[in-house]
Structure 1
């Protein structure tokens, strides 16, 4: 892969980050120069989606920071292009850049539903809520044609399997028919990420994600259908979006969200430099303040990956955000303890030819 450090605005129009530097696992890292200084016209980065045949789908974790121990991701990479996305470094495992490759070179796991069915049918499988969209958004634009997330949701519904979805994608409204029925049985919950109410800032931060107003409409439509919705004010960006915390929570509550959560901006691995490049281009006047606040919460570093620390940080500023969140949640009447998703309804669907189906 070529190292592309300086890309024109035309080439990266409507994209989240400014560079496409090679990932840390790319051993063929190289720069190409032909000896000429003649400007070369190159096309814009176009979204490309290739298919992958997944061998396994459910990913397990033992992190004490997460409220779930398993998740599925129908896609690798995400066209929403959020500049701050903590999942960008995962693209390096594919030999691709966490930069623009992450939002333009996508992988669709086209057999995901079949693999999921096989894994749920295993005699060794023990049911617990599955999370969708925790790494990359299952309802990004590619889903409109591929329908992989919906196919997986149909499998989970057949098995009466509990599911929690995190998304920014308005395409989730297409699946309200399935989610509403699952929610009636206590099997489904959705989290909608709301970073800012400023449409101009949102367009720069999350160039191909729905606008803030559209996401609030998503919350309203999902909750009106009886689907419990959590408004996720994540990430909180110090010096950039932190002043909006109360307004974000109030907007989510007014739209129908019954619960709320927050996570501080995280800058693991390649994200730190990508983020600082974004600040230099889009918010140069706030760059020092943003990075100073983050380093203040992480012992002078851009990021501290320790469990129990990485999601929130520590110190006076982190405590202030936590107190503001808790006070506002209480004032607005958000639920502080939401009911657990049900696991007692899980059952293998009847198959054609099952003898017991006669009884």
Structure 2
């Protein structure tokens, strides 16, 4: 069963266990509390915006209930006044809790193009047809945004998804405005536009159809081989300099990828996707992102080698970032899967950010600072130079942009709008 609680600690600062806990539940609670104490011993100074209330300390969800998911807990959102905690009341009720299943809620935004002025990214606008992502990547920087829906950045982010079915129509309306100035739109930046629910909803495909009709440039980032479904749109757009695709490859180890990105395409399929896109004439790039210290960092050169052999012409990398709820979610994941590396990973992470686990400063948050960050940057530089990557960065064109005639609009004899 599940209950809602304010999660008030006792005077000594520890939780008072419920009176009706069974022996097995008490043992599980004791093990979890010991793990939490071990994690707490490694906490370092963090900025105020990264500190989570103690009342939101998460409890690990049973493995069977979260099978096929990335996060191991489902703590309440940071804006919620209450915390939820599963507990055994002595009647084995925990065994009756259902597994986490994916649900999709329709969202009706007023606009669909998001704007940003961050100097760390190479675009000023993006589109996200979905909120939340079933790929379940434990490190996903978009997880904290689920708090704005009153949901958890943990398992809720992977299972309670939102779709924007009006996205293509909203996009066409915004592009048709007289004052709109075209620049490359990034697709799939916050959450993957080709996550599994795209097979049914087809919002990304419909968005690409709108962009193609307007002659508007688009850059796609994905972990999914489903992007190959839309080659009939992407290849003609690429021939006009309107499209390019980047595949994110975190590791070439399928077992590691499965526990880190449980519902994303396997590494082999991502490399094959680069090959097939390249063969079809679509410019491709590989993103070694994120690089997780002491977990995936040793694979940087191997990933770049495989991507170049498949036809990638550009590459980039991003170091692991753990803002807000991601910090605790990532630590839980480390304790669950790599307890022997836990302290070493956090030590390197702090080395990246001047003794903190995360620094949101522009110009540093993607790559970090210090000796370890310098080493990773140098390795990337040497590898890309050796492989001939990034000799030139493809700039998509806006010269094909035009506003198609709107319904009911009269054209002149010579094809110009009146």
Compute the TM-score of the two structures, normalised by the length of structure 2.
0.83
Cα distance in structure 2, aligned partners of 1:88 and 1:288:
24
Cα-to-partner distance string for 1:246-283 (whole Å, 9 max, x where unaligned) = 00000010111110000000101000000000000001
1:53 to partner: Cα distance: 1.6
Cα distance in structure 2, aligned partners of 1:101 and 1:338:
38
**Residue 306 (structure 2) pairs with residue 251 (structure 1):** yes
1:54 to partner: Cα distance: 1.9
Q: Counterpart of 2:347?
A: 292
Structure 2: tracts of 5 or more residues without a match: 5-55
Instruction: Confirm or deny: 8 A CA contact 1:350 1:357 kept in the other structure.
Output: no
Instruction: Confirm or deny: 8 A CA contact 2:223 2:247 kept in the other structure.
Output: yes
**Residue 277 (structure 2) pairs with residue 204 (structure 1):** no
2:161 to 99, 106, 121: 106
Q: Counterpart of 2:181?
A: 126
2:338 to 283, 299, 315: 283
**Residue 246 (structure 2) pairs with residue 191 (structure 1):** yes
**TM-align CA RMSD:** 1.4
Q: Once structures 1 and 2 are overlaid, which stretch shifts more, 1-10 or 198-207?
A: 1-10
Cα distance in structure 2, aligned partners of 1:349 and 1:95:
40
2:113 to 45, 58, 76: 58
Q: Once structures 1 and 2 are overlaid, which stretch shifts more, 345-354 or 118-127?
A: 345-354
**Residue 79 (structure 2) pairs with residue 25 (structure 1):** yes
1:13 to 27, 46, 67: 67
1:32 to partner: Cα distance: 6.7
- Secondary structure of the residue aligned to 1:355 is coil
Task: Tell me the number of residue pairs that the alignment of Structure 1 and Structure 2 aligns.
Answer: 358
- Secondary structure of the residue aligned to 1:161 is coil
Q: Which protein is bigger by CA-based radius of gyration?
A: 2
- Secondary structure of the residue aligned to 2:83 is coil
Instruction: Confirm or deny: 8 A CA contact 2:354 2:370 kept in the other structure.
Output: no
Cα distance in structure 1, aligned partners of 2:158 and 2:124:
26
**Residue 147 (structure 2) pairs with residue 89 (structure 1):** no
**Residue 217 (structure 2) pairs with residue 157 (structure 1):** no
Cα distance in structure 2, aligned partners of 1:81 and 1:32:
22
1:353 to partner: Cα distance: 4.6
Runs of 4+ in 1 over 2 A off after TM superposition: 1-4, 27-34, 350-358
- Secondary structure of the residue aligned to 1:356 is coil
1:132 to partner: Cα distance: 0.5
- Secondary structure of the residue aligned to 1:154 is helix
2:90 to 31, 37, 47: 37
Q: Counterpart of 1:239?
A: 294
Q: Once structures 1 and 2 are overlaid, which stretch shifts more, 52-61 or 95-104?
A: 52-61
Structure 1: tracts of 5 or more residues without a match: none
1:27 to partner: Cα distance: 2.5
1:6 to partner: Cα distance: 3.0
1:52 to partner: Cα distance: 1.2
Cα distance in structure 2, aligned partners of 1:303 and 1:336:
32
Instruction: Confirm or deny: 8 A CA contact 2:75 2:84 kept in the other structure.
Output: no
